[in-house]
Amino acid sequence: MPQVPSDIIVTGARVFLAPVQTPAIDLPAPELAVDEAWPVGWIDIGFTLEPTKVTYKFDILEIFVEQSYSPVRRRRTKEEAMLETVIAEHSAGNLAIALAGIAATTAATSTVPGYEEFSVGGDPNLPLYMVGIEGSYNDESENFFPIRLFLWFATVADGGTLEYAKDKPAGIPLKLNALADTTKPRKYQLMKVQRIIDPATA
């Protein structure tokens, strides 16, 4: 294969969530430029303190037969995808997203200050989201293009630890585990990565 230095991607990532609903919220169009607003319904979680990591892994069944010492076939038997990062902005809304709780804001009055609250506990249900991330890169012609990844369905994973310290920000761990969208054809049900590689023709 040819060596293309611009295919070496070094980028931060914006992380977006959208509730799964009917009708479905639109995906950003391929022609949407980097850092432009995503369609209505997507929530930008804001600054992050750590790289955004997307993990895809699967289990394998190896089939052995008596006539061979080596496997003669392998099949995937389980697959999983996960997104992880740490949200920088410590708000009740971000806590509600990351820990599957609820957030409420009370406006200030002449006698009571405005405040927000986050609560969780006693509800087995997990909100269902679409997940998107957006990074960027320059191609060999110095065009500035987006690279985007989508998880079709996801829920928050196993909560996280809130750490308050005098020498670092109080980040909010965010872990999202993908679920299969079985309405899509096989090989398309878990996630998609889209990288723009050429500008639209005139």
Alpha-carbon distances of 22 from 15, 19, 26, 41, rounded to whole Å: 22, 10, 11, 12
Give the mean model confidence (pLDDT) for residues 120-132: 95
- The band of 201, judged by pLDDT with boundaries at 50, 70 and 90, is confident
What's the DSSP call for residue 26? P
Structure token pair of residue 118: 């986050």
Considering only residues 31 and 1, tell me which one the structure prediction assigns the higher pLDDT.
31
Do residues 180 and 190 lie in contact, with contact meaning Cβ atoms separated by under 8 Å?
yes
How many CB atoms neighbour CB 89 within 10 A? 14
- pLDDT, tens digit, 9 for 90 and up, residues 163-182: 999 999 999 999 999 999 99
- pLDDT, tens digit, 9 for 90 and up, residues 139-169: 988 899 999 999 999 999 988 899 999 999 9
Name the one residue in this structure whose structure tokens are 């997104």. 83
Q: Nearest 5°: phi and psi at 162?
A: -90, 125
